[in-house]
Amino acid sequence: MNPRTALRPALLRQDFTASLVVFLVALPLCIGIAVASGVPAELGLVTGIVGGLVTGILPGSSLQVSGPAAGLTVLVHQAVTQYGVSALGAVVLAAGLLQVLMGALRLGRWFRAISVSVVQGMLAGIGLVLVAGQLYPMTGEHAPDGGLAALSGLPSLLMESLRSAVTGTPAASVTELVGCGTLLVLLVWRRLPARVQLVPAPLAAVALATAVTAAARLDVARLDVRGLAGAVQPPGLTDLGRLTGAGLLGTVLAFALIASAESLFSAAAVDRLHNGPRTDFDRELMAQGVGNTVCGLLGALPVTAVIVRSATNVAAGARTRLARVLHGCWLLLFAALLPEALGVIPLAALAAVLVYAGAGLIPARALPKLWRAHRGEAVVLVATAVAIVVTNLLEGVLFGLLLAVVKSAWETSQLQVEVADGPEGPIRVELTGCATFLRLPRMLGALEGLPGDRPVTLDLTGLRYLDHACRTALEDWATRRGAELVDRTGGADGVGGAEPVPAVR
């Protein structure tokens, strides 16, 4: 869109309105994600501001909105728990520079090659850990470390909540009421009239919970407010020096890869929602990298493109990147002028918002349909999610990618062994399809089951692909058996060659 078109009053009004809507959606999410990540709430606002004012003005995708994402909450919390808040800035800074480098090397488009099932499994695993972890502060309890420990502790948490409700423990009961009430508002908000839904559900739920607890003077835990100046912790030389360790380097790689994948998949999804300019994936990757570099220098949370805010931006009528830049301005004004407003927000309400957001990452409705249509993809999705819960985000995603590669290799390695045994002449065995090491047991089993007192002709001319392992095994078998091997590849692995020629007799 050219500058003259962008300055039309009608477009300016649309972008201005959309920016306010996105701001109202982003505000509670920025705060809640920061708290769930184990860092001051103000750092979530800082990341949202950078996502609007820095990433928002850079080329790449014109309508998707960046900020702190629920998808990285688990990874950030693990990093903060293991290395401390002071190391967060160094990790995010290094991840941002790595993203810029990947974008400059034009690697952005390759992220589109990641299996959709792995991405959905990643989000499902994050959602499970997020829901399990936030149910504890929603009921006034401290969450255990690790997704598996949080999930396994849910039965005892439920029993404790029921016991406190029966015995009437004041503090716990009030916290649970606030958390459950907030979650109830989130669930029923979409059923209310359209005019009411103009106010985003997360904002409405948190605002109502805050108003009720303040009016009734309820004794519940609230946000600890430090102000932007007190919360921002730029990385020092000591923090940067720790990046030479293998543990932190692995965390940097995980931040860069997962944030990039989430941003670029979000961009692809947003492109399907509007008819405007398409995303330049390499430029978008660099824009996200610049945003994370700035966030790292400020010691804030990592920035990624967020599908919820981006879809809201499109639905609200945004036409240019001005909408996302303005949403960053509103976040900055709120953080600068109304920081005290954060101190009255109940932690249980924010936890309920994160439980709701985490549940939205779990494809509970889509999984049965996927199982019926593509069982292999459903297995990859579930296995990735379970691996993330049992181990951690990086190892779970790597396991999912490995499983997806194995599944694809198995499905593409379709080999047919046809045996023609006539009354006269040799037994003719014809192999068609793709012969890879994954099919070696079946292939050799069929060959070794042939009668030993008959001559055999082994025809490979129908193969589209023949890897080295299969070629070696077939040539060894033909030599031992004294069989005739008819091959068109000229002895080379792979596909190609001329007319069939006798290779081994």
Residue pair 487/460 in contact by the 8 Å Cβ criterion: yes
SS (H, E, C) 359-375: HHCCCCCHHHHHHHHCH
- Tell me the pLDDT tens digit for each residue of 129-156: 888 888 888 887 887 877 788 888 888 8
Residues β-bridged to residue 429: 419, 458
Q: What distance in Å separates the CA atoms of residue 191 and residue 440, rounded to the nearest whole number?
A: 57
Helix (H, G, I), strand (E, B) or coil at 435: strand
Q: Which tokens go with 388? A: 């993330």
- Whether the predicted pLDDT of 189 surpasses 60: yes
When mean pLDDT is compared across 102-106, 107-111, 144-148, the lowest value belongs to 144-148
**How far is residue 116 CA from its own chain's centroid?**
10
Print burial letters for 277-295: b (CB count within 10 Å at least 16), e (below 16): eebbbbbbbbbbbbbbbbb
Confidence tier at 486 by pLDDT (50, 70, 90): confident
C-alpha neighbours within 13 Å on the C-beta side of residue 437? 5
Mean pLDDT of 62-79: 87
Work out the angle at residue 330's Cα, subtended by the Cα atoms of residues 262 and 326, and round it to the nearest 5 degrees: 65
Could you tell me which of 98, 132, 118 has the C-alpha nearest to residue 254? 98
Q: What is the pLDDT of residue 220?
A: 86
- Whether the predicted pLDDT of 170 surpasses 70: no
Residues sharing a CB contact under 8 Å with residue 86, sequence separation 6 or more, in sequence order: 233, 235, 236, 239, 299
- Tell me the pLDDT tens digit for each residue of 260-317: 988 888 888 788 778 878 888 999 999 999 999 999 999 999 999 987 788 888 888 8
Could you tell me which of 25, 56, 15, 7 has the C-alpha nearest to residue 318? 15
Terminal Cα-to-Cα distance of the chain (whole angstroms): 69
Q: Which tokens go with 74? A: 């688990």
Mean pLDDT of 153-182: 77
Residues β-bridged to residue 263: none
- Tell me the pLDDT tens digit for each residue of 407-465: 888 887 788 889 887 777 788 899 998 888 888 888 899 898 888 888 888 888 888 88
* Measured CA distances, 238 to 79, 87, 231, 434 (Å): 17, 9, 19, 54
Q: What distance in Å separates the CA atoms of residue 60 and residue 279, rounded to the nearest whole number?
A: 5
Mean pLDDT of 161-177: 69
Confidence tier at 11 by pLDDT (50, 70, 90): confident
Q: Can you list the alpha helix ranges (DSSP code H) found in 374-467?
A: 375-390, 393-412, 440-448
When mean pLDDT is compared across 43-57, 143-157, 368-382, 464-478, the lowest value belongs to 143-157
pLDDT, mean over the chain: 84
Q: Which tokens go with 46? A: 């800082």
Give residue limits of the domains in the chain.
3-405, 413-504
Angle, helices 41-53 vs 281-298, to 10°: value is 140
Could you tell me which of 453, 433, 446 has the C-alpha nearest to residue 474? 446
Torsion angles phi and psi, residue 382, rounded to 5: -65, -40
pTM: 0.73
- Whether the predicted pLDDT of 198 surpasses 50: yes
Residue pair 313/56 in contact by the 8 Å Cβ criterion: no
Residues β-bridged to residue 77: none
Which long-range contacts (C-beta less than 8 Å, at least 24 apart) are formed by 470-476?
470/435, 470/436, 470/437, 470/439, 470/440, 470/443, 473/440, 473/443, 473/444, 474/435, 474/443, 475/503, 475/504
> Domain 413-504: what homologous superfamily?
STAS domain (3.30.750.24)
Helix (H, G, I), strand (E, B) or coil at 462: strand
Angle, helices 9-37 vs 73-83, to 10°: value is 40
Mean pLDDT of 232-260: 86
Report which DSSP code applies to 55.
G
Q: How many CB atoms lie within 10 A of CB 190?
A: 8
- Whether the predicted pLDDT of 1 surpasses 50: no
Q: What is the pLDDT of residue 10?
A: 67
Instruction: Give percent of the chain above pLDDT 70.
Output: 93
Question: Radius of gyration (Cα) for the chain, nearest Å?
Answer: 29
